[in-house]
Structure 1
Amino acid sequence: MTTIEAPRTPARSAGRNGNLEKWAWIYMRVSGVVLVVLIFGHLWVNLMVGEGVHAIDFGFVGGKWADPFWKVWDVLMLWLALIHGGNGMRTVVNDYTKPGRAQKILKGAIFAAVVILIVLGTLVVFTFDPCPAGSPADLLPSFCPAA
């Protein structure tokens, strides 16, 4: 008869940490599936439709982000990818470091990086103006009213 040794640490209850890990696991699976759709849609529109990769320039992005649909698409892709990646890095830190100060510092750095990149990326998408007021007409894209 084979017996299984007792684990090194007692089993955690399904308290706060147990639920966090469960929801983080579920998030990774759901966000992964949604990201596949978002990324392949993004690649299809940018690389296959129209002139392909040769058409991607400032005007292409400006025209694309003139449509609220593409702003939401890109921001959703940004948020899901950053949170997905941050959660993956959190898991790596949990796996390769011992609980303590170093682990808290690493997790804090990951959290800070994710938050900063989400805020900056969201600001770029929603405040992007391809036709800034007061710019010289020769520097504006052809679709701007002043050009």
Structure 2
Amino acid sequence: MTTTIPAPRTPRRLRGRTNTELYAWMFMRASGVLLVILIFTHLFVNLVTGDGINALDFGFVAGKWANPVWQVWDLMMLWLAMLHGTNGMRTVINDYAERDQLRLWLKVGLYTATTITIVLGTLVIFTFDPCPPDAAADLLPSFCPVP
């Protein structure tokens, strides 16, 4: 008589035939490679080209986000970094939270924080306006036209 024993520390709900963990593993590899490319290009453009770190200020970010390419670039970095980190934390929670109730609440907190960060970050990237029309002139940056 042969008995099959599941791998140790494998949660009961994952012992069936599911590809979720395989897809999560593949996402981590793909998003990691993309993040390396996105982040090193971001660092090169911001710190090496032009005046380097001395040019980084509010005006630099405002000028950069006036270009839709950089908006999408920063959005991809935000989304990939948050989803990559969330997937990693989900794995840590699955490995180390032994009680099902604790695991559930930790994941609820993780997913809530991730959703809020992604939504707020996306809103900031696409609604950023360095020269709001009703702002007081003394509060506007020097590059904004004075009405």
> Structure 2 CA distance, aligned partners of 1:99 and 1:27?
27
Aligned pair 1:12/2:15, yes or no?
Answer: yes
* Residue number in structure 1 paired with 2:84: 84
Q: Which consecutive residues of structure 2, in runs of 5 or more, have no partner in the other structure?
A: none
Aligned pair 1:30/2:36, yes or no?
Answer: no
Partner AA of 1:115 in structure 2: T
Partner AA of 2:114 in structure 1: V
TM superposition shift of 1:114: 0.4
* 4+ residue runs over 6 A deviation: none
Q: Which stretch has the larger CA shift, 30-39 or 130-139? A: 130-139
> Structure 2 CA distance, aligned partners of 1:146 and 1:38?
36
> Structure 1 CA distance, aligned partners of 2:62 and 2:93?
39
Please give the TM-score of this superposition, normalised by the length of structure 1: 0.88
* Residue number in structure 1 paired with 2:103: 103
Report how many aligned residue pairs link the two structures. 141
Partner AA of 1:13 in structure 2: G
The percentage of aligned residue pairs carrying the same residue is 59
> Structure 2 CA distance, aligned partners of 1:66 and 1:111?
31
TM superposition shift of 1:97: 1.2
Partner AA of 1:137 in structure 2: A
> Structure 2 CA distance, aligned partners of 1:146 and 1:31?
43
> Structure 2 CA distance, aligned partners of 1:36 and 1:29?
11
* Residue number in structure 2 paired with 1:53: 53
> Structure 2 CA distance, aligned partners of 1:40 and 1:87?
22
* Residue number in structure 2 paired with 1:139: 139
SS state at 1:25 partner: helix
Q: Deviations over 1:92-134 (max 9, x none)?
A: 0011012510000001110001000000000011010001112
TM superposition shift of 1:85: 0.3
> Structure 2 CA distance, aligned partners of 1:21 and 1:99?
20
RMSD, matched Cα:
2.1
Partner AA of 1:58 in structure 2: F
